[in-house]
Chains A and B, each alone.
Chain A
Amino acid sequence: MTSTSLLDVENLSVGLRSNRSMTTVVSDLSFHLKQSEILAIVGESGSGKSMTAKALMGLLPAGARITGSAQFKDVDILANADRNVQAIRGTGIGMIFQEPMSALNPVLTIGLQMTEALRVHGLANQADANKRAIEMLDRVGISAPHTRLGQYPHEFSGGMRQRVMIAMTMLLEPDLIIADEPTTALDVTVQAQILDLLKEIVAETSIGMLLITHDMGVVAETADRVLVMKQGSRVEEAGVRTLFADPMAPYTKALLAAVPRLDGNLSSPSEFPDSDAPILEVRNLEKSFSKKSGFWRTQATTKALKNVSLSVQEGETLAIVGESGSGKSTLARAITRLLTVDSGRVIVNNQDFLALKGQSLRKARSDIQMIFQDPYSSLDPRFKIGRTIEEPIHIHQNIESSQARKRVDALLEQVGLTPDMADRYPHEFSGGQRQRIAISRALASSPKIIVADEPTSALDVSIQAQVLDLLLRLKKELSLTMLFISHDLAVVGKISDRVAVMRSGQILELGPTDRILLDPQHPYTIALLSAAPSPDPEREHRLRVDLPHIKDAGPLREIQSGHWVAT
């Protein structure tokens, strides 16, 4: 590879002003990027990876202090930042953001947003710019590109918007692209397509790319070299194969060990014979959401659950896996009665849970508790956490305050926290600690069933591993039955006995975890597994399987004992 250096960052430090003091978010960071190279900066939240990207683009909030130098094609863009950065923005360095839903202006057409920079930089007149925009949309895989310029962002799906974003950036023919978590907000099948597209672009145009990510799987599949960051500093830098095969720093080793993998260390699923009395049974659940328009007329009905049936044996963990819009969260909410279904039954402990009222409903509710995805919004910020955990104890159990307090202490210890934390407020805890608090709240009413809706997807990988271990331990100790909702097959492999794969409100495949992950039968399950990035650069890249179009799947058929596939 004969290539010249494109970007040389030396001793970059970034300080942000917070409450009159300076917090250093990046310290003394140096790295180099060549043409045709993809350098991944990887780290957990707070590692300073995004701040590094923003510093290079001059996007930091006012009052930020930046020192060091960044030579980009013989210009130090950090010196005399106002002028030098403005000169390279867009045409020199392009940037792709994490959230395609909010990175495009909702009130301006795609055409205007794509062409305005070309016009401003004086690179084309409007007709020429439109022509180039259409070509670029075609290049990034948008169908019927000539009809798209007049459309608005809300008319595109998340993956399509990210393609538009990439097209918009590429239109200015930059020499370097900074992609800040470009696929984090996307479904795994869409992520695979976007990563492939980015790699193609780098290979074709020999530009350089700085890929900011937290996902080791994405790094392994995409990057040439990797820079690992922690708390603003460089931990390790190496070629991608070296880093994964032979990590030097203890932090890198720990990070890699925490990444759940699809192959190896699957949980050994326990056998749960079909008994006549499953603890939880879901029969023919139907739910549709209708978008209201006009005054009385309703239209655009979306079926979120289509005739969903399943049963869970006592002590079993059933994972529900699916992408966004699959209906998995709707199912979790329907089972816990957080929303009302159109038809169908949920039987908990031989009781028709959906038909219960009053006192008996309250009693039944104490048996089935939920853990939510985002521990930042699921805890009341004005309640001390002791009060949050104590509340269900008072509602569901008739015990004295001093006893309740003891129970709170015990619950806190059970999830790996200490009793003295009960008097603190949620904002004093980290994300992982908050999720532990949410778990102890769910356990407070001594439930038999826990419904966990993506309980680890808002957490860093190392924290995710700890929380998963905690859930596994609690499940054993308290013989809990668990419904585990997730989009991440590797996480599911670690925790569940059986897996149900959902798409468009239907279960497409259901069976023991090892069978689903190692011998999937439904084309959608196969596509989902092949799209999941694997944290192993040596591995032969899997063939991407195009997503099968499934409008309405047939009924489930048992192909082997306990392994059901939709026809």
Chain B
Amino acid sequence: MLSFLAGRLTMGLLTVFVTTILVTLLIHLVPGDPVQIMYAQSQGTTPEQMEEVRKSLGLDKPIPVQYFMFVGRLLEGDLGYTIRGGQPVLDVILQRLPNTIVLAVAAMAIAILIGVPIGFFAAYKQGTIWDVTLMITAIAGISMPHFWLGLILLFYFAVDLGWLPVSGGGPLNLVLPAVTLGLSNAAIFARLTRSSMIDVLSQDFVQTAIAKGLPQKLVLRRHVLRAGLIPIITMMGLQFAFMMGGAIVVENIFSWNGVGRMAVEAIFQRDYPIIQGFILTFAVVVVIVSIMLDAVYAFIDPRIRRS
């Protein structure tokens, strides 16, 4: 199991490494001179000032040199300074990252708590009207874009009924964005759980358990659920990455002060250091979460734990 996790860790570091290369190239992938684009909207910037910014970002040097400078500073924990305001990028990100993680975790919890039981129930009732209804609902849930669902929820629960605040940063404010983000993922979990459980239900060991005379509840809880959860745990890592992506949209709808909203603002302002920092942070978070889930996976599946 240790070598399994060591392998995952190496893969994770490799992912982050590749991301650093992409992030360096990012500035140059946009057509045109990055600094000119940056200042396109603001008038009155002198060529000298632009030259200074170019120098401060190291854009006057060859790309490989830029890369090594970037990685060198990165290893010291320095992500550069924002162009607007000149604050350290790392501080800006660390200040907002907890908000995004709280949102993603809350949404994940909602997705699992709603999706897994629904999928399990649908699998158990496979082929009945229950199954069909739930799965059609799930497809509708998957098809629904975040921004639309978010606006609908906002309209009813915040504006019409006034139960929840429209925007802001308190615990009550978490409810709507987390539900928005969680619901569509719940639909994905429901479908995934259903197919996984149907797969397990047809396995021989379930027949064995029934033939031993175990009561149905025990067969479902002990034999079906546990074996069926394994592929779902694997999917959670991937889902978490999607959820971080979804957070960008949802944070903007509900003015939730996380890194997603920060990233969108930075993109509009062409604040490259922030965008770079954001992408890198995103990659690191996703890698850490995948490794954590792999550990859980290895713990639940004895075939990996014992090897």
Q: Name A's B-contacting residues (CB within 8 A).
A: 57-59, 86, 88-91, 94-95, 97-99, 102-109, 116-117, 120-121, 152, 154-155, 165, 168-169, 172, 293-295, 297
Contact = CB atoms under 8 A, between A and B. Distances in A.
Interface in B199-220: 203-205, 207-215, 218
B212 A172 contact: yes
A108 B223 contact: yes
B303 A102 contact: no
B42 interface: no
Given A89-B211, A106-B302, A108-B226, A295 B10 contact: yes
B6 interface: yes
Contacts of A155: 306
B300 A107 contact: yes
Contacts, number: 97
Interface in B269-305: 300-303
Given A104-B208, A120-B214, 18 more contacts: A86-B213, A88-B213, A90-B212, A91-B213, A102-B204, A103-B204, A105-B223, A106-B302, A107-B230, A107-B302, A116-B218, A117-B212, A120-B215, A152-B306, A155-B306, A172-B213, A294-B6, A295-B10
A172 B8 CA distance: 44
By DSSP majority rule, is chain B's interface helix, strand, loop, or mixed?
A: helix
A177 to B, nearest CB: 11
Given A106-B302, A106-B303, A57 B205 contact: no
B162 interface: no
Nearest to B305: A152
Nearest to A63: B127
A108 B221 CA distance: 12
For the complex of A and B, 8 pairs with smallest distance between CB atoms: A90-B213, A89-B213, A294-B3, A117-B212, A95-B211, A295-B7, A152-B302, A102-B204
Interface of B: 3-4, 6-7, 10-11, 203-205, 207-215, 218, 222-223, 226-227, 230, 300-303, 306-307
30 contacts: A58-B210, A59-B210, A59-B211, A86-B213, A88-B213, A89-B211, A89-B213, A90-B211, A90-B213, A97-B207, A102-B204, A103-B204, A103-B208, A105-B208, A105-B226, A107-B226, A107-B227, A107-B302, A116-B212, A117-B212, A120-B218, A152-B303, A152-B306, A154-B303, A165-B208, A293-B4, A293-B7, A294-B6, A295-B6, A295-B7
Contacts of A105: 205, 208-209, 223, 226-227
A117 B204 contact: no
Nearest to A86: B213
A189 B300 CA distance: 35
Of the listed residues A57, A98, A105, A165, the one surrounded by the most CB atoms of chain B closer than 10 A to its CB is: A105
Nearest to B303: A154
B4 A294 contact: yes
A298 to B, nearest CB: 11
A139 to B, nearest CB: 18
Contact of B213 (A103, A108, A121): A121
Given A106-B227, A294-B6, A295-B11, A154 B213 contact: no
B152 to A, nearest CB: 38
Contact of B3 (A103, A109, A154, A297): A297
A293 B226 contact: no
A120 B213 CA distance: 8
Residue among A91, A103, A120 with the highest chain B CB neighbour number at 10 A: A103
A107 B301 contact: yes
A102 B203 contact: yes
Nearest to B3: A294
Contacts of B223: 105, 108
A97 B212 CA distance: 12
Contacts of B204: 97-99, 102-103
Nearest to B227: A107
Nearest to A58: B210
Contacts of B303: 106, 152, 154
A108 B211 contact: no
Contacts of A59: 207, 210-211
A120 B209 CA distance: 12
B41 to A, nearest CB: 47
A102 B222 CA distance: 16
Contacts of A120: 213-215, 218
A168 B4 CA distance: 33
Kindly name the residue among B11, B208, B223 whose own CB sees the greatest number of chain A CB atoms within 10 A: B208
Contacts of B302: 106-107, 109, 152, 154
A293 B307 contact: yes
Nearest to A117: B212
Contacts of B207: 59, 95, 97, 103
A169 B213 CA distance: 11
Nearest to B208: A103
A238 B215 CA distance: 38
